Chain A
Amino acid sequence: MTMSARTSDFKLHTSNFKHAVLGPLTLIMLLFCPVGQAALKGGCSKVNITPPLGVTLIGSYGKPSDTVMDDLYAEAMVLSDGRNTIAIVAPEIRCPSNGGPNRASRLAKR
């Protein structure tokens, strides 16, 4: 299993929502922010979760996997504005049973 992670000041992309004005305006506001004031921080991580060959595949009528076309990954992003912290996890699996997310949520609260 391979894992990579990086953490840095995080910039949220906004202009893909057709807000051409927002970008320049916000940049100016940031210039006047005193150092130490709440700024968005975040980190990203990516883990290879490709299962071993031979696992049963959903949607293949019980036929087990016999080759890997593309590796599967679980990606995670954690953001904090200094007050609230949120995490978005995107595993490349078909359906999360309720037990999986609940367990992840419990682990994250530790």
Chain B
Amino acid sequence: MPIQRGAKPREQIGKAIGAEAVRKLQFVATTGDITLSGMCRQATFPLKKTSSDKVDTTGAQSITTEIQVLRLGDVYILGLPGEVLVEVGREIRKNAGIEKLLIATVTNDAIGYVCHSRAYDEGGYEPESGASLAQGAGEIMVRESLALLGEIQRVN
């Protein structure tokens, strides 16, 4: 896919993704024989001393929110509260050991960009002016997510 900005590339990318979804849908089998469950877990993330304007964190040193997981049979949907960089999601996926794991971001809360530590070293919009969270937030998101996924697998 082309990495370009503007209306035309946006439409091309959207149609390509949509078409792939429609193609896959033609060959899916279905079952009504599954069980459902869900869990959530509180997580606390460190804030920068000077916050971005995206999240109102006046005077606070940390922000506490929650992450959630829904289980539909052997499909797990992990809901993360923020704009999570792809490296954070990949790290969760790599270590979770769950084949059918869907990761949803900006779920139930918006705490701004959640970047891995290397992004802070490299710089750029997301970890710098775009983020309210301090370095280490991405690793906390990975740790807490893996703990929650482990917990729901143990219980069910």
A residues with a Cβ closer than 8 A to B are 9-17, 22-24, 26-27, 29-30, 33, 38-40, 79-81, 83-86, 88, 94-98, 101
Once the chains bind, are B36 and A79 in contact (CB under 8 Å)?
A: yes
Chain A residues with Cβ below 8 Å from B31 are: 11-12, 14, 22-23, 26-27, 30
Q: Which chain B residue lies CB-closest to A69?
A: B7
Collect the chain B residues with CB atoms within 8 Å of residue A40's CB. 32-34, 36
Q: Report chain B residues within 8 Å CB of A98.
A: 65, 108-110
B35 touches A83 (CB 8 A): yes
Q: Which B residues between 20 and 60 are near A, CB-CB below 8 angstroms?
A: 24-25, 27-38
Chain A residues in 8 Å Cβ range of B32 = 9-12, 30, 39-40
**Most chain A Cβ neighbours within 10 Å, of B29, B100, B106, B107:** B29
Instruction: Find the residue from B30, B38, B75, B109 having the highest chain A CB count within 10 A.
Output: B30
Contact at A23–B30, with CB atoms within 8 Å?
Answer: yes
Judge whether B121 is part of the interface by a CB distance below 8 angstroms: no
A24 to B28, CA, bound (A): 11
Tell me the bound Cα distance from A106 to B109 in angstroms.
15
Is B33 touching A13 in the complex (CB atoms < 8 A)?
A: no
Is B77 interfacial (CB 8 A cutoff)?
yes
Contact between B33 and A29 (Cβ–Cβ < 8 Å)? yes
In the complex, what's the smallest C-beta–C-beta distance from B69 to chain A, in angstroms?
Answer: 11
Given contacts A10-B32, A15-B29, A17-B75, contact A86 B108 (CB under 8 A): no
10 nearest A-B pairs in the assembled complex, by CB-CB distance: A23-B29, A11-B30, A95-B110, A26-B31, A101-B108, A13-B28, A40-B32, A15-B29, A15-B28, A84-B36
Q: Which of B64-120 contact A (CB under 8 A)?
A: 65, 70, 72-73, 75, 77, 83, 99-100, 106-110
